[in-house]
Structure 1
Amino acid sequence: MSGFMKMFVLLLIAGIFPVLAMIVPLLIEPRRPNREKNSQYECGVDTVGRNVPRYRISYFLYAIIFVVFDVETVFLFPWAVKFNDIGLFALAEMFIFAGILIVGLAYAWKKGALTWK
């Protein structure tokens, strides 16, 4: 089996598995819907008004900043593992990368995106 064929089989399995994971439960689940099961549940109290809660934008700002620094660690870990092999040029590039993130953090801090109200 060639390398491309192995890759094709891997992609085929990776495409089929999630589809099967969604279809099989639909086929084997018991279906006995009634009014009580289809109603929304709020701690035993019937809902009144809007059912979708409103979230403040500060929650999303924290999430975005978390994702930015999470991506930084994703790039930083392989760099740290191969640090001895890649040399000083990669060290300078990582300082530039970290500097850009620090400038972004300082900007978010200055704009008040990190203050919890």
Structure 2
Amino acid sequence: MSPYGPVAIYLAIAFLAATAFCLLPGLAARKKPNPAKSEAYECGVEPTSDVSGRFPVRFYLVAMLFVIFDVEAASFYPWAVQMHQLRVFGLAEMLMFVIVLAIGYAYVWKRGGFQWR
């Protein structure tokens, strides 16, 4: 068996499991449509507006900005763990990373990306 055999088996099993997890619930579910089930649930209060409307683009922009800056902030931990081994080179690289992050943050702030209107 080649060294990639176990990897191929693992990928095949993962693909089959993902496919099964996506298809089986739809096939096994009971289909009893009910007007009350199709209605929007807002904490027991009657819906005040149409829920099939579109979300504003602003919502997605704020969500993407959160993900971008959150992932970048999460990269500080591995750097902090290896800081003593990286020495001055690691410090310079992280300083460059922080500068690029600050430029992006300032750009988004100046454009009003953090204001929820």
User: 2:86 matched to which residue of 1?
Assistant: 86
Relative to structure 1, the CA distance from residue 54 to residue 31 in structure 2 (aligned partners, 3 Å threshold; closer, same or farther) is: closer
The TM-score with structure 2 as length reference comes to 0.74
Letter in 2 for 1:25: P
Summarize the alignment of residues 98-109 of structure 1 with structure 2, pairs less than 5 Å apart: 98-109=98-109
User: 1:18 matched to which residue of 2?
Assistant: 18
Gaps of 5+ in 2: none
* C-alpha distance in structure 1 between counterparts of 2:81 and 2:3, whole Å: 27
Shift of 1:47: 9.3
* C-alpha distance in structure 1 between counterparts of 2:4 and 2:52, whole Å: 47
Gaps of 5+ in 1: none
Shift of 1:5: 1.9
Letter in 2 for 1:19: T
Letter in 2 for 1:40: S
What is the CA RMSD across the aligned residues, in angstroms? Answer: 2.8
Summarize the alignment of residues 48-87 of structure 1 with structure 2, pairs less than 5 Å apart: 51-87=51-87
**Is the 8 Å Cα contact of residues 40 and 51 (structure 2) preserved in structure 1?**
no
**Is the 8 Å Cα contact of residues 40 and 47 (structure 1) preserved in structure 2?**
no
**Is the 8 Å Cα contact of residues 108 and 114 (structure 1) preserved in structure 2?**
yes
